[in-house]
Amino acid sequence: MVILSGMFCWMCWGAPTWPTDGLATRDWVIEALEWRMHQGLDDCDAIVPALDAMTLEWISESAEFTLEIQRSDWPFLEKAPELLPLLIQAKALGQLLEEGELEKGQRQVVRNVRRVVRKTDGLPVWAMRSDFRASRSSGDDERGH
């Protein structure tokens, strides 16, 4: 039991503290998303689903920006559609951090998604390599506002 709880703490180390009032704030969402971009889809099953739900809800309700995603700009979604929520989170993080030029932001989004994919068992990482390259180099017309 001690070993199992030690492994849980190690695997989920650095997870953001849950907001005391249960309401996400901009700063908490940034902290949560930065941590999230280093976890696989199936990591920390006691934390990640709740964190994903809270951050995605905050993103959808935020008046700070709007996200639009054209599936054709993200070919890896064809092989792994379960990456769509992660893509939304990665794009939102980039906009919250106000990453400069659009092309650099696009590369960072792809880098974040690719990192999570590598940490997730069962995803076709090698089959998606060319999709990640295409997404990274594609001209992204999406604007957040």
pLDDT in tens, 71-114: 988 999 999 999 999 999 999 999 998 865 556 778 899 999 99
How many domains, in total, are found in the chain? Answer: 1
- Distance, in Å, from the CA atom of 84 to the CA atom of 74, rounded to the nearest integer, reads 9
Q: How does DSSP assign 72-123, residue by residue?
A: GG-THHHH-GGGHHHHHHHHHHHHHTT-SSHHHHHHHHHHHHHHHHHTSTTS
For the chain, what percent of residues have pLDDT higher than 70? 82
| pLDDT for the residue numbered 127 | 87
The answer to whether 37 touches 114, Cβ cutoff 8 Å, is: no
For the chain, what percent of residues have pLDDT higher than 90? 50
Q: Is residue 15 part of a domain?
A: yes
Q: Is residue 112 part of a domain?
A: yes
| pLDDT for the residue numbered 99 | 61
Q: Is residue 132 part of a domain?
A: yes
The answer to whether 98 touches 108, Cβ cutoff 8 Å, is: no
Domain interval for residue 99: 2-137
Q: Is residue 144 part of a domain?
A: no
9 pLDDT tier (thresholds 50, 70, 90)? very low
Q: Region 25-34: what's the mean pLDDT?
A: 96
* Cβ contacts of 74 within 8 Å, gap of 6 or more: 87, 131, 135
| pLDDT for the residue numbered 138 | 61
Q: Is residue 78 part of a domain?
A: yes
> Which one-letter amino acid corresponds to residue 19?
P
Tokens of 16: 């953001």
Q: Is residue 41 over pLDDT 80? A: yes
Q: Is residue 6 part of a domain?
A: yes
| pLDDT for the residue numbered 5 | 38
Q: Is residue 145 part of a domain?
A: no
- Distance, in Å, from the CA atom of 107 to the CA atom of 21, rounded to the nearest integer, reads 35
123-139 confidence digits (pLDDT tens): 888 888 889 888 876 64
| pLDDT for the residue numbered 6 | 39
Tokens of 107: 């590369």
| pLDDT for the residue numbered 143 | 40
Tokens of 70: 């054209």
Q: Is residue 66 part of a domain?
A: yes
- Label residue 22 left, alpha or beta by phi (over 0 means left) and psi (-120 to 50 means alpha): left
